[in-house]
Amino acid sequence: MSFSIKYKPLFEVNLYHKYFLNNGAKDFFSMNDTEKEMQLTNYEFSDLFSIVPSANTLKKLLGHQIVFKCSGYKLSVWLKVASSNLDVPFIPLSENLELSFLLKLKTYTFNHFTDLGLQNSGQLLYFSNKRLLSETGNFPLIKRANNTTAVTDDYRLNDLSQKAVLENLAANEKQNLLGIIRIGIKGETGSYDILRANGKLRSDQRIFNLVFANRKTTWRYYFKTNQQVNNHDDVKKENGNSRQLITRTEKPLTARGFISVKLGNSELPNPDVLQIIPDDASSKIYSEIHM
């Protein structure tokens, strides 16, 4: 007698970052399928952060014969199913079961090119299909796959919630921790439930989106000589200084493509993301380029 072990998808989380996926000023989600596929070709969220199960979740994964995989732009979670019925988990999943994955930063420049607040960057981000009791009813749930709204600071935990979350993590798990992805078998509403009401797998597995927007900054150019500027240029003098020009509007930081900034007949270069300059007095963030 032969038998085979089968796994079926339980849920997925797509992780997108527009700094890498936009093409200049063109938004990734406005592209056609061919363009999107090209932008995704060399995109790996693992260049930005690692996703690892918490120690407690790792025990749950082993005990329920659940496996996970991170590849490209996806976190995929798969479940061993019964050989007699492929819609039935091999080990039944309790409605109270929750799986927590740690989102850990791998680059110190993440906040430079990500459109999130700088002053509250120490507060953990929390992405879940069920709200914590210590948060208000307005705390946002993780977005479903048909929703490409970008992550905002609304996903940051309050002090009480953060303290409770961190108390359940070991010291090494807290290092470089950006946030938590926590998916419960029972969601906040039925549309967020991972399994069907009878405990069987869904034919339409739950897919969630995490979309990080790229930051926009005011670009400041330092010249060695005085510059001629007119009203048609994309830059203007800063405080009347002809050697110090700034863009008239904020410009998006992007890893791919080119943002056009014209001074007369010349195209000015785009800045890198190694440094950004917050200015509390003007409530602006600057990127600087020395010409």
Specify the number of domains making up the chain.
Answer: 2
Do 110 and 28 lie in a common domain? yes
Per-residue model confidence as pLDDT tens for the chain (291 residues): 446 789 999 999 999 999 999 999 999 999 999 999 999 998 999 889 999 999 999 999 999 999 999 989 999 999 999 888 889 999 999 999 999 999 999 999 999 999 999 888 889 999 999 999 999 999 999 999 999 999 999 999 999 999 999 999 999 999 999 999 999 999 999 999 999 999 999 988 999 999 999 999 999 999 999 999 999 999 999 999 999 999 999 999 999 999 999 999 999 999 999 989 999 888 899 999 999
Do 166 and 68 lie in a common domain? yes
Do 194 and 232 lie in a common domain? no
Asked, for residue 28, whether it belongs to a domain, the answer is yes
C-alpha separations of 248 from 50, 162, 186, 270 in Å = 37, 39, 49, 15
Asked, for residue 175, whether it belongs to a domain, the answer is yes
Tell me the whole-structure pTM to 2 decimals.
Answer: 0.94
pLDDT recorded at residue 1? 42
Asked, for residue 199, whether it belongs to a domain, the answer is yes
Do 158 and 244 lie in a common domain? no
Last residue of a domain, one of 163, 197, 212: 212
Do 60 and 126 lie in a common domain? yes
Do 189 and 249 lie in a common domain? no
Do 206 and 252 lie in a common domain? no
pLDDT recorded at residue 9? 94
Asked, for residue 1, whether it belongs to a domain, the answer is no
Last residue of a domain, one of 185, 212, 239: 212
Asked, for residue 156, whether it belongs to a domain, the answer is yes
Asked, for residue 230, whether it belongs to a domain, the answer is yes
Do 142 and 257 lie in a common domain? no
- The parent domain of residue 61 ranges over 7-212
Last residue of a domain, one of 212, 247, 282: 212
Do 208 and 221 lie in a common domain? no
pLDDT recorded at residue 282? 85
pLDDT recorded at residue 258? 96
Do 155 and 274 lie in a common domain? no
Asked, for residue 2, whether it belongs to a domain, the answer is no
Do 199 and 235 lie in a common domain? no
